[in-house]
Structure 1
Amino acid sequence: MGPVPVRSASPGAARRPGRRGPADYRRARRAARARPDRGAPLSEQPEDAARATPARRPRTRLLLTLAALLFLADLATKLLVVATIDRGENIRLLGGLVYLTHARNTGAAFSFAEGFTVVFTLIAVVVAVVIVRAARRLFSTAWAVALGLVLGGALGNLVDRVFRDPGFLRGGVVDFVSVFAPNGEFYPIFNVADSGIVVGGLLGAYLALRGVEFDGTRSRDRGDGAVTSS
């Protein structure tokens, strides 16, 4: 019986399952270099999409900045009026469209409900505290503007009620803008703080009617996970 011929394995012969040849390792290294996030160990892969995307920041800074600007503008104008305009004096501007006067208001905005100074003082304190606490979960720019105007106006009038005559918590708020006629004959006399409260309140009412929440979402879209940019 003659010798049995030995056959050499061809390059394309099937390999044993689970074994990888040099060519496989070279292909794996090339794939890892081309797509490092796929080839790297889990501990070395980039952060997931949620962490890679910049997190939304609360609009606290916008709210407080706007409130501070309105408060300073209100304080500066009141000090100027008290220093330059006598009580009851009227200065005609813009052909009678606006009159600058010097009045004291012991009620709410636009001289409403005079005689309840202490009540409105306490309400202003509560409003300020509630807004500051809500600022930490405020992600809506529009709500930050609305609440910033209300907060700045509430603080502006609160300072008058605390520090002006006739006494603590009962001080008269300085009003000085009368439109179309002197002495509030056509429309109640108001100040910068009153304007901020009214504009902020109207904007807040509009956002509430539109269903915009403090976090920027719309209440009717929460089921779909939709987020607005308000």
Structure 2
Amino acid sequence: MPRHRAARVLIAGLAVVLLAIDQATKAWAVATLDPSDPPSYLGGFLTLRLVRNPGAAFSLGSSATWLFSLLAIAALTYCLFVLAPRITSRGGAVVTGLAIAGIAGNLIDRIVRPPGVMRGHVIDFLQIPHWAIFNVADMCIVATAILVVLGAIREAVVERRQKQAAATP
């Protein structure tokens, strides 16, 4: 299978599976969790606390939900139609698939959930100590950011080594 095609299959497969997990876990959380009685696991390390978040991380920008929706549409469009077709590496495909799943997962909430289209609140339900309450889509977005930073560091190290090797007689 050509590299472009293999990368596209990996991007699509990863994005679809992670998006399905995100939406299924959010549906489960809404149907099952009682916001007034959140269960805790792992000695209190993980609490399943259902919240409907109109903003971004840490509920920042709660009055700008429509703006987050527009930004997500722009980011998803870029990932699907500009970035994904250019990806040839497995690592790039993983990062792109994670990004698409994360962006789409929270965008779906903003489109279909109350209080209305482009203003919907994102379902968050995973809470660990000293951190914002989050969901699977958020985990995908954070993993994307971490992998992009690690890739940039790796690339800088390789480039520095190449320059050193070229300068050494």
TM-score scaled by length of structure 2: 0.85
- Using the TM superposition, give the Cα deviation of residue 116 of structure 1 relative to its aligned residue in structure 2, in angstroms: 1.6
In the alignment of these two chains, the number of paired residues is 158
Give the letter aligned to residue 126 of structure 1.
A
Name the larger-Rg structure. Answer: 1
Q: 1:126 to 1:210 in 2, by over 3 A?
A: same
**Misfit runs of 4+, over 4 Å:** 218-221
Q: Equivalent residue of 1:75, what SS? A: helix
* Corresponding residue of 1:9: none
Q: Does 1:201 align with 2:150?
A: no
In 2, distance between residues paired with 1:205 and 1:100? 29
- Following superposition of structure 1 onto structure 2, how do residues 202-221 of structure 1 map, counting pairs within 5 Å? 202-211=146-155
In 1, distance between residues paired with 2:2 and 2:128? 46
* Corresponding residue of 2:3: 56
* Corresponding residue of 1:80: 28
Q: Equivalent residue of 1:177, what SS? A: strand
* Corresponding residue of 2:125: 176
* Corresponding residue of 2:77: 129
CA contact (8 A) 1:161 1:173 kept: yes
CA contact (8 A) 1:147 1:204 kept: no
* Residue in structure 2 matching 1:97, options 45, 51, 56: 45
Q: Does 1:71 align with 2:15?
A: no
Q: 1:200 to 1:110 in 2, by over 3 A?
A: farther
Identity of aligned residues (%): 39
* Residue in structure 2 matching 1:153, options 86, 97, 102: 102
* Corresponding residue of 1:189: 133
In 1, distance between residues paired with 2:148 and 2:22? 21
Q: Which one has the bigger helix percentage?
A: 2
In 2, distance between residues paired with 1:211 and 1:205? 10
TM-score scaled by length of structure 1: 0.63
CA contact (8 A) 1:143 1:207 kept: no
**Which fold has the larger relative contact order, with Cα–Cα distance below 8 Å and residues 6 or more apart in sequence?**
2
Q: 1:176 to 1:198 in 2, by over 3 A?
A: same
Q: What is the root-mean-square deviation in Å for CA atoms of aligned residues?
A: 2.1
- Following superposition of structure 1 onto structure 2, how do residues 136-147 of structure 1 map, counting pairs within 5 Å? 136-147=85-96
Give the letter aligned to residue 34 of structure 2.
D
Q: Which ranges in structure 2 are unaligned for 5 or more consecutive residues?
A: 162-169
Deviation per CA, 1:78-102: give whole Å up to 9, x if none: 0001001123431111111110011
Q: Which ranges in structure 1 are unaligned for 5 or more consecutive residues?
A: 1-53, 181-185, 213-217, 222-230
- Using the TM superposition, give the Cα deviation of residue 113 of structure 1 relative to its aligned residue in structure 2, in angstroms: 2.8
Give the letter aligned to residue 204 of structure 1.
V
- Using the TM superposition, give the Cα deviation of residue 220 of structure 1 relative to its aligned residue in structure 2, in angstroms: 8.3
- Using the TM superposition, give the Cα deviation of residue 55 of structure 1 relative to its aligned residue in structure 2, in angstroms: 4.9
CA contact (8 A) 1:110 1:190 kept: no
